[in-house]
Amino acid sequence: MIVLVTGSTSGIGKATAEKFASEGYDLIITGRRVERLAAVQHALQERFKVKVTSLCFDIRNQPEVEAAIASLGTVVPNLLVNNAGLAAGLSPLQEGRLDHWERMIDTNLKGLLYMTRIVANKMIDGGVRGHIINIGSIAGKEVYANGNVYCATKHAVDALTRGMRIDLLPHRIKVTSVSPGMVETEFSIVRFDGDEARAKKVYEGMQPLTGEDIADAVYWAASRPAHVNISDIVITPTDQASATNVLRS
Ligand SMILES: NC(=O)c1ccc[n+]([C@@H]2O[C@H](COP(=O)([O-])OP(=O)(O)OC[C@H]3O[C@@H](n4cnc5c(N)ncnc54)[C@H](OP(=O)(O)O)[C@@H]3O)[C@@H](O)[C@H]2O)c1
Question: What domains can be seen in the chain, in order of their start residue?
Answer: 2-235 (3.40.50.720)
pLDDT at 205: 98
* pLDDT tens per residue, range 197-215: 999 999 999 999 999 999 9
Write down the mean pLDDT value for the chain.
Answer: 98
At 245 the pLDDT is: 97
Q: What is the per-residue pLDDT across 80-106, written as a single tens digit (0 to 9) for each?
A: 999 999 999 999 999 999 999 999 999
Pocket of ligand 1 contains residue 208 by CB under 6 Å: no
**Which numbered atom of ligand 1 lies nearest the CA of 154?**
47
For residue 33, which atom of ligand 1 is closest to its CA?
40
pLDDT 10s digits, 30-42: 999 999 999 999 9
Mark whether 150 is an active-site residue.
yes
Instruction: Quote the CA–CA distance of 135 and 64 in Å, as a whole number.
Output: 21
Is 190's C-beta closer than 6 angstroms to any atom of ligand 1? yes
Question: How far apart are alpha carbons 135 and 96 in whole angstroms?
Answer: 24
Ligand 1 centroid to 199 CA: how many Å? 15
CB-ligand 1 contact for 134 (6 Å cutoff)? no
Q: What is the pLDDT of residue 35?
A: 98
Residue 233, H or E segment: strand 232-235
- Ligand 1 geometric centre to CA of 211 (Å): 11
The rounded Å distance from CA 155 to ligand 1 centre is 16
What Cα–Cα distance (Å) separates residue 201 from each residue in 194, 211, 243? 13, 18, 15
Q: Which helix (H) or strand (E) holds 175?
A: strand 174-180
Ligand 1 pocket residue status of 148, Cβ below 6 Å? no
Cβ of 157 below 6 Å from ligand 1:
no
Instruction: Return the best residue to mutate from 4, 5, 8, 10 for the ligand 1 pocket (most ligand atoms within 8 A of CB).
Output: 10
Candidate list 25, 114, 144, 150, residue with the active-site label: 150
| pLDDT for position 40 | 98
- Segments of the chain scoring below 70 in pLDDT: none
- Residue 18 vs residues 140, 211, 218, 239, 246: alpha-carbon distances, Å: 26, 10, 12, 26, 29
**Residues 151, 131: Cα–Cα separation, whole Å:** 25
- Ligand 1: nearest atom to the Cα of 84: 24
Q: Is 102 in the pocket of ligand 1 (CB under 6 A)?
A: no
Burial class (CB in 10 A: 0-12, 13-18, 19+), 117: middle
What letter would DSSP give residue 192?
Answer: T
